[in-house]
Structure 1
Amino acid sequence: MSPRTAAPGAPTAAPLAGRTALVTGGGSGLGRSIARQLVADGARVVITGRDGTRLAETAVRLGPDVSHRVCDVSSPEQVAELADDLAGEEISILVNNAGTAGPVAPLTEIDPREWDEVFHVNVRGVFLMCRAFLPAMTARGAGDIVNIASVSGKRPLARRTPYCASKMAVIGLTTTLAAEAGPQGVMVNSLSPGPVSGPRMERNFRLEAERTGSSPAQAEQAFVARSALGRMVTEDEVGEAVTAMLRMGGLCGADIDLSAGMVAR
């Protein structure tokens, strides 16, 4: 029985110890931080992504409890191959983190191929991974799926329509799948980080500065001024939030904001 669904009085210490987690987009950024925190809390981790060299470097850096597989989550064939390859592993935690930022432009200037690329990775990838790994969880009557969404799916963000629309789709997928899988013991939730400090946001600030004639530092300051804490969240905070969610009994169908006060509902 999963610690998340254990009977009253059953042991609940270190609920991640001994479990195996699969983290998509695990070679860098948020995925790497999520994997690092899972390992710190006692889980074994398989990381996936499209860059085999980066995955291998991350696995070495994170230690012997981390292995890696190359997989494009938007490809049904590659996801099926991944599921076959991991058939001998009891994947009880799936973290759908793989994503792409997409274009920064007015909707009328976005090429349909750019739109499709964002949805292929950010939404289709979540669908394919859940479809591949959920059946074993439901057969065991226990498991956890955490989908990484974004507060950008819930508030206006000019010039980012593909990304925002895709993240709102992930939230909708999460709540519906939770209703389907919850009765079978599988907890499905999403985490919506606010802006996360790192290369992706640096890119966005650079593009915004070019558009407005300001500096990247000015663009960043104007952006973080919207948050209650006056800053962005960190990659490590996202990793810690994922493992905290995995410890929360009764959490199913939820979307958790982690935004340093950028979004308050």
Structure 2
Amino acid sequence: MPTPASAFPGDRVAGRTALVTGAGSGLGRAIALALVARGARVVGVGRTQQSLEELEEAARGLSGSVRTATADVADPVAVTALAAELADETVEVLVNNAGIAGPVAPLVDVEPEDWDEVFAVNVRGTYLMCRAFLPGMVERGEGDVINLASVSGKRPLTRRTPYTASKMAVIGLTTTLAYEVGPAGVSVNSLSPGPVDGPRMHRNFALEAERTGTSYDEAEAAFVSRAALQRMLTEEEVAAAVVAMLHMPGLCAADIDLSAGMVAR
């Protein structure tokens, strides 16, 4: 039987084991560190050993702990091996953050292999990780899955069709899966950040400036002017939202917009 919400302690992070994909850099690293800082045992998964070692170093002295493992979440064999490697862990929280931006080009210029790569990481990777780690949550009658989607899956973003289509697919996966495992006491939600200040957006502004014949600063200013807060998000703000979602035990089948006001509804 599912555990009633009233049985959960006030702190829904400390003492729990959280698996975070794409944990070696960017949003994944920020999410992993935010969870460790609040007392979680984090299993950080990524494709590059060096970046995972840097995560371990950054987490030293925080109240929780970190264990890392390398895996390509888009590879079924690698995910099966990862699940076997982590058989000694009780994964109570799964944060599917691993993703790639894909090409910046009109749809007719996107090569099929580039389209497939985006869906392999962003969608199949989420599916494979859920497939591997949900059974334990269902058996225990408790768990949280947070899938990183994007507001780009719900608003026009020209020349980015593979990415936007993949993120809308993640939202669809989330809502349907929530109804499959919700009766067992497992909550599945998605978080849809808006633009996050970092290398990906810097690349996009440079490409947009080149395409339109404007400066980098002009391209950035035109983009952020769409947001109510007139700025992009920080990685730390997205990480804080993940922590907040875990402290809402009644949240299920939800998609949360975190966009600095770029999406309003």
Q: Give the structure-1-normalised TM-score.
A: 0.96
- Counterpart in the other structure of 2:56: 59
The Cα of 1:242 is off from its aligned counterpart by 0.3
Output the CA distance in 2 between the equivalents of 1:148 and 1:55.
20
Trace 1:106-255 onto structure 2 (pairs within 5 A): 106-255=106-255
Tell whether the 8 Å contact from 1:46 to 1:66 is kept in structure 2 after alignment.
Answer: yes
Matched, 1:27 2:8: no
SS at the partner of 1:214?
Answer: coil
Letter in 1 for 2:139: A
Aligned-pair distance for 1:215? 1.1
Residue by residue over 1:181-211, the C-alpha shift from the partner in whole angstroms, topping out at 9 and shown as x without a partner, is: 1000100000000000011100000000110
CA drift of 1:249 comes to: 2.1
> 1:113, CA displacement in angstroms?
0.5
Superposed displacement of residue 12, structure 1: 2.2
Q: What is residue 101 of structure 1 aligned with on the other side?
A: 101
Gaps of at least 5 residues in structure 2 are none
Question: 1:58 Cα shift?
Answer: 1.2
The amino acid across from 2:25 in the alignment is S
Count of residues paired in the alignment: 262
Three-state SS of the structure 2 residue aligned to 1:101 is coil
Q: CA deviation at 1:11?
A: 5.8
User: What is the identity, as a one-letter code, of the residue corresponding to 1:56?
Assistant: E
Q: CA deviation at 1:63?
A: 2.2
1-structure distance, mates of 2:52, 2:88: 21
User: What residue in structure 1 maps to residue 87 of structure 2?
Assistant: 87
Question: Which residue of 2 is the match for residue 14 of structure 1?
Answer: 11
Q: Is this contact kept in 1: 2:5–2:250, CA < 8 A? A: no
Shift >6 Å, 4+ stretches: none
Q: Distance in 2 between matches of 1:134 and 1:70?
A: 20
Aligned to 2:43: 46
The verdict on how the C-alpha distance between 1:7 and 1:101 changes in structure 2, with shifts beyond 3 A counting, is closer
Name the SS of the counterpart of 2:152 in structure 1. Answer: helix
Range 14-23 or range 252-261, more displaced: 14-23
- Taking structure 2 as the reference length, the TM-score comes to 0.96
Conserved? CA contact 1:14–1:42, under 8 Å: no
Please report how far the alpha carbon of residue 104 of structure 1 lies from its aligned counterpart in structure 2 after TM superposition: 0.3
- Which residue identity lines up with residue 47 of structure 1 in the other structure? G
Aligned residue type for 2:131 = R
- State the AA in 1 paired with 2:260: A
Q: CA RMSD in A?
A: 1.3
| 8 A contact 1:149–1:170 mirrored in 2 | yes
CA deviations 1:3-32 (Å, max 9, x no partner) are xx4453x46222211110000000010001
